[in-house]
Amino acid sequence: MGDWEWPLILFTVLGQIAIGIIVMLWWLDRDRDHLDTQLFKKGVYVSGGLLILALLASLFHLGHPEAAYRALAHLGSSWLSREILLFLLTFLAWINLFGMSRRQTSSRAIGAGAATITTAEIAAGGQQSGNRSLGLGITSVLGLLGIASSAMIYVLPRVPAWNNVGPVLFFLLTTGLLGALVTLVLGRKLLHPAQKKLLLQWSLGCTIASLLFYVIYASMLSASMEGAASLNFLLSSPLFWARALLGWFAPLLLLVNLLKNSQVAKTNLILTLTLLAGLGEVLGRALFYLSATGIQITALF
């Protein structure tokens, strides 16, 4: 069985939330001027902070963090090298977004102060909105590729529980779920009710997909001896049932309740939902590492 890989748990979950926020901002920005400038700014700041924390956490996994730059050396076959490259490119794309968010605030202030809006200002605003969408799109694509690379690191023939599509789907579903919920929290006063409803529906879709996929994944595990050992570990661990309660069942109940009763404006419920889902995903990621059983020599020592 694996270990509590805290640096990796923090790196993957925080990195996925950061990229999830950017993806959600891009999605909300699909129609020009649909995304509130303040939410864009908040989202960019929070995602950047989380991305920096994630990258710092990843260093603690290494025996020699001072030589981490060397991890870029084997792009030809190592998914870890590709992951590092894509996360660095995502961070560079984020710096561009950060600059954009600073410029956008100042241009708005100038526009608000002016007595009349000129045609040139409208054209500049349109150009800015287009650039913003492009910037968010590029950051999202790079980030999602980085997350897929992160997942591919674990697709190892030695570990049957990982040697399938599971890691990629788990990582992308975490991105979708936590990205949407944190964006909801950030935009609780800035999002339109329709946008909130859309994000809640997306979160519900991710939670249901995560639960259904996990059931299929668990049923596949028993095909090999090592996979069956992973499954036995999961089912007998109290952490797994805590993960199921916090990460699947409680969020499902809350999400259905919020959508059914049109309570999209209930900030406390959204905050509770985000915390529960976040805890569930952290436990889920811990179990991902803890339950890994590799094919190994079974002879006596």
Footprint of another protein (CB under 8 A):
61-65, 67-68, 70-74, 77-81, 84, 153, 156-159, 292, 294-301
Q: Which is closer to another protein, CB of 90 or CB of 140?
A: 90
* Smallest separation, CB 81 to another protein (Å): 4
* Smallest separation, CB 198 to another protein (Å): 39
Do 58 and 219 form a contact (C-beta atoms < 8 A)?
no
Q: Which is closer to another protein, CB of 36 or CB of 83?
A: 83
Q: Which is closer to another protein, CB of 12 or CB of 101?
A: 12
- d(C-alpha 247, C-alpha 202), whole Å: 15
Burial 48-73 (b: 16+ CB within 10 A, else e): bebbebbbebbeeeeeeeeeeeeeee
Q: Which is closer to another protein, CB of 215 or CB of 300?
A: 300
Give the orientation angle of helix 79-113 with respect to helix 37-59, to 10 degrees.
Answer: 150
* Smallest separation, CB 62 to another protein (Å): 5
* Smallest separation, CB 168 to another protein (Å): 16
* Smallest separation, CB 12 to another protein (Å): 14
- d(C-alpha 211, C-alpha 194), whole Å: 26
* Smallest separation, CB 51 to another protein (Å): 20
Q: Which is closer to another protein, CB of 156 or CB of 209?
A: 156
User: In the block, which residue shows the tokens 């952290």?
Assistant: 282
Q: Which is closer to another protein, CB of 62 or CB of 265?
A: 62
- d(C-alpha 165, C-alpha 167), whole Å: 6
What is the DSSP track for 72-118? GTTTTT-HHHHHHHHHHHHHHHHHHHHHHHHHHHHHHHHHHHSSS--
